[in-house]
Structures are given as structure tokens and as C-alpha cells.
Amino acid sequence: MSENIKIAVVGSGYVGLVAAVCFAEMGHDVICVDNDERKVAALQGGDSLIHEDSLPELLEKYRNTKVRFMTDLAEATRECEAIFIAVGTPQSEAGDADLSYVEAVACEIARSITSYKVIVEKSTVPVYTNEWVTRSMERNGVARQLFDVVSNPEFLREGTAVSDFLHPDRIVVGADSERAAAVLRRIYLPLTSGDYYERSGSIAGSCNVADPPPLLLTSTKSAEIIKHASNAFLALKISFINAVSNLCEATDANVEQVARGMGLDSRIGPKFLRPGIGYGGSCFPKDVAAFRSVAEQLGIDFNLLTEVEKINGQQKKRFLNKVRSALWTLRGKRIGVLGLAFKGETDDIRESPAIDVVEMLLAEGCSIAAYDPAAIARTQEVLPAASNLRYVTDAYAAAEDADALLILTDWAEFSNLDIDRLNQALRYPIVIDGRNLYDPDTMVKHGFTYLSIGRPAAYPVRDLTAPSAS
Ligand SMILES: NC(=O)c1ccc[n+]([C@@H]2O[C@H](COP(=O)([O-])OP(=O)(O)OC[C@H]3O[C@@H](n4cnc5c(N)ncnc54)[C@H](O)[C@@H]3O)[C@@H](O)[C@H]2O)c1
């Protein structure tokens, strides 16, 4: 039988906020704590602040009732049985994970503990973090029997975060004490028992009552490593197919065919074999760097990860060269850009390869009209509009009078454009697609020069029998 558990979630970003409303959706009572007063006020007022499917609806359903937002971590600690730490763990100057936000939270929790609590690492952290959190609690005077630290890494993807949280492939719980493991089992019981999926109005997804998600219980260290290893492996898959796409370009082969041929092998699988302009976002770049750094500190040769990063960095430069190959010189060229977010269906621009490409084009003297369905406001904070950079309200406005149109983010919206209208809008019908959203044959039939990743460049066939203009 599922029970209602009091949970604190510290951090109200992509992970914390989604976890908070999803725990409420599962039936628990949640206090979501953030030290950013502006954020807390916005959330209390019903503004979710981030672009996520189903999030506004869940926030509206539970805000100020089953999910309370506050800045007071001491109160949340006193009231709750489990405290999930979901603050940022950005990359430090040295390349490893900056754990200062996690430490600050641990110290604050330590000051308010009066009864047994389970402290849960939800943030992505390197192996041994649980030991540091434990040490930090003890140094702040908390008796060892008053807490346990467990690792419960989060695997949600931005854009589908709510359904990923409620329909996970697996729930990983790293706990070295049975008492703490039992609390986590109770928290996730609505999912692991399948109960949640039978409720009317439950959020749809891949799990159901007959096929609920498994909860994998491991040591805390293993759980910490599972998260870093998973992200590093996914990044590796992307870099691998990007390297293969370069090979395809050099041989006039077609990477889509190659990826399909590989992906049909059940040992490989089709996912994350989509070539592009490189991975980005707030996770893969920093997590690969942090994992590499952990290996280095332990004296383990994991240079494979250095290669993964190297290929990823080169991919953007190769794309710029592709633009140059289509336009010859770049200075003074007018470029339409579709996509600023690091991937489709999110407004997150952290480490976005699209933004890197835009910056490289601006540095080359291009002027840009950029459109993104959700990420313009965030982009403007780092790249304000200027005489050489305009933000426009739709894809056709980006194409208007441009020398070429670049597709930099795989938004679903960009796969369904009226390509004849785009052709009309462009000064020259050139599309350079960094996400392989279109079929080259179709583009050529509609009169485009179409360059994509790992596929032969496609040019409209010239009718050589037609009389020349001169
Ligand atoms: N974004 C993702 O897709 C994703 C997926 C899985 C795991 N993760 C991991 O989850 C963690 C959080 O990522 P995110 O994208 O949600 O970050 P985020 O930057 O969107 O949110 C972090 C939040 O923590 C708050 N915060 C910082 N210090 C605080 C403190 N002392 N007290 C209270 N609140 C504090 C910030 O104000 C912010 O709202 C990271 O470790 C990340 O690697 C992220």
C-alpha cells in the first residue's frame, strides 16, 4: 500500500522542480526549497519558469497545496523524512564537478537536524560524494545515527522530463544502510508497484501496471558511478556516430543508412546514433569532463573520454566549414538560423552547440536572423540583439532574404516546415542542416542546395539544355 511521505527537494531547476511536482503526483507531500527568492515567488505564483511538457499543469494542480515552495531549508529539514539535493553541480575551472552548492546544502541541513533523515543525492555527483556529504554532516556536529546519505541519480531528459520521471527505465538507489533503502523504496512504491499507472488521469508514458519500472539497489558508490558512466556512454555514442558521419562524408556514403544498419543490431540499438553538430546541454559536457577527472585523480587511463570531447568540439568547426563550402566567403553574408536550444523541445541553452555556431558565424562577420520556439529569451541574456543579430518570430522570417538557412536544433517544428515557402523567402535556396531533419532528394526536388551531416551534398540538377541568360 502506497503511503504519503514528507519529502523536501532542494533546488527548483529542471530536476528539482520536476521531481517536486512528480513526487506530489505520486501522492507525497513536498516542500521545494530554493535560495533564489525570485524563483520561489514565481513558482508560488504558478510560473514554472522552464519549458517542459506537462509541468505547468502539474504545478497548477499542486502548488501551495501538495508542493509548497520556500527558501527556508531549516523548516523543510525539520518537517521532512527525506531531503533530495537537486542543486547544480557545474563544471569547475579545473574540469571536475564543482560541489560547493551540494556542500552548502549539506551544511545547512546539518544545522537543523533533530531526528533521523535520509539525505538523497539527486544531483549528478562524482563517486565518493556521499562520503564527503557524510563527513560534512559529522563535522557540523550531527550524530551518525541521525542520518544516512543515499544516491538516487536522475536520468530524465529535458523536454520530456515529467514523463521520464514518472516512467523511468529504472530507478537506481545507492544505499549502504537498509534503513535508508527502505525509505527510498516507500517513496517510489507508487511507481514500482504499478499503482500510479492505474490511477485515472495519470501521466501517460512507457510504464504500466503490468510493466512497472524496476528499482535497482546498489552501493552508494556504484549508483554515483552509474550516472556518470551512463552519461559518458551516451556522449560516446554521439561522438562515435559523428566520427562515422565524417567518414561517410569522405566516402560519399550515407550515415543514415549506416546508423540504421548498426542500430538494427540489438546489441547496439538505434538510439543516440543520430549525427549532428555535437552534444551540448547542462549534463553531457560537464559529466564527461567530471568522469574523466575522477579517472585521472584515481590514476586510471580513460583517454577514450578525451577523444569523445575532442570529436564533439571538432563537429561544430566542421559544420562551420560546411557553411563556408556552400557560401565561399562568410563576411557580410546573411544567415537564417533555426534553433538555439541545445536540443529540441527545451528552452535550455547551456553549452548549446547552436549558440557556439552562432558565435562563430558572428565572429566571421555574418549577420544573423535567428528563431527558436522557446529559447530566444534565454539566448538574449547571453547574446543580446545587435545590428548583426536579430531574433525573429518564426522560421520563415529567419529565412527572409538570407543567403542560407541553417538548422541547428532538432525541434519537431523544424521537420514540418513549408519548404516551398522557405524557398520563396530565401535569397538563395541553400539549407545547411546540422540535424538531418530533411530528405536530401525531397529538398533537391524543391530546388534547394541541401547540405547535411554524413550524407552526400545534394544540389539541384541544372537543366543544361535550357538557354543561358546571356
Ligand atoms: N537538467 C537535466 O536534464 C538533468 C538531468 C539529470 C540530472 N541533472 C543533474 O541535476 C542537478 C541539477 O540540475 P538542473 O538542471 O536542475 O540545475 P538548475 O541550475 O536548473 O537548478 C538548480 C537549482 O538549485 C538552486 N540552488 C543552488 N544552490 C542552492 C542552495 N544552497 N539552496 C537551495 N537552492 C539552491 C538554484 O537556485 C537552482 O534553482 C545537476 O547536478 C545536474 O547535473 C540534470
> Dihedral through CA 395, CA 383, CA 345, CA 65, nearest 10?
-130
Distance of CA 329 from the midpoint of ligand 1 (Å): 42
CA of 123 to the centre of ligand 1 (A): 7
Final residue belonging to a domain, choices 187, 218, 249: 218
Domain span holding position 37: 6-218
Q: In DSSP terms, which residues pair with 253 in a beta bridge?
A: none
Q: Taking the alpha carbons of 182, 151, 304, 455 in that order, is the dihedral positive or negative? A: positive
Q: Are 115 and 79 in contact (CB under 8 A)?
A: no
pLDDT for res 463: 57
What residue owns the CA closest to ligand 1's atom 10?
123
- My answer on whether 209 and 322 are in the same domain is no
Domain identity same for 444 and 348: yes
- Mean pLDDT, residues 424-428 taken together: 98
Structure confidence by residue, pLDDT tens digits, 96-141: 999 999 999 999 999 999 999 999 999 999 999 999 999 999 999 9
Given 155, 185, 218, which residue is the final one in a domain?
A: 218
Q: Could you tell me if 68 and 95 are in contact, meaning their C-beta atoms sit under 8 angstroms apart?
A: no
**Spatial distance between the Cα atoms of 103 and 137, rounded to a whole number of angstroms:** 9
Indicate the burial class of 71 (C-beta count within 10 angstroms; 0-12, 13-18, 19 or more): middle
Question: What confidence tier does 470 reach under pLDDT thresholds 50, 70, 90?
Answer: very low
Q: Are residues 77 and 57 in the same domain?
A: yes
Distance 131 CA to ligand 1 centre (A): 20
- Residues 202 and 248 placed together within one structural domain of the fold: no
Domain holding 332: CATH number?
3.40.50.720
Q: To test ligand 1's pocket by mutation, which of 75, 282, 288, 347 has the most ligand atoms within 8 angstroms of CB?
A: 282
* Same-domain check for residues 132 and 94: yes
Q: Which of 218, 234, 268 marks a domain boundary?
A: 218
Three-class SS state of 200:
coil
| 245 and 127 part of one domain | no
**pLDDT tens-digit map of 458-467:** 999 765 565 5
pLDDT, the chain, mean: 96
Closest approach atom of ligand 1 to CA 122: 10
Do residue 344 and residue 363 come from a single domain?
yes
Does residue 107 carry a catalytic annotation? no
Amino acid at 367: S
Quote the CA–CA distance of 389 and 363 in Å, as a whole number: 12
- DSSP code per residue over 63-114: BTTTEEEES-HHHHHHH-SEEEE----PBPTTSSB--HHHHHHHHHHHHH--
Choosing from 22, 32, 80, 283, which is the catalytic residue?
283
pTM for this model (two decimals): 0.95
Query: How far does the centroid of ligand 1 lie from the alpha carbon of residue 228, in Å?
Result: 16
Which residue from 15, 31, 151 has its CB within 8 A of the most atoms of ligand 1, so it is best to mutate? 15
Q: What is the pLDDT of residues 315-352, one digit of tens each?
A: 999 999 999 999 999 999 999 999 999 999 999 999 99
Q: Are residues 235 and 214 in the same domain?
A: no
Helix segments in 113-210, DSSP class H: 129-139, 161-166, 178-192, 195-198
**How many domains are contained in the chain?**
2
Q: What is the pLDDT of residue 467?
A: 58
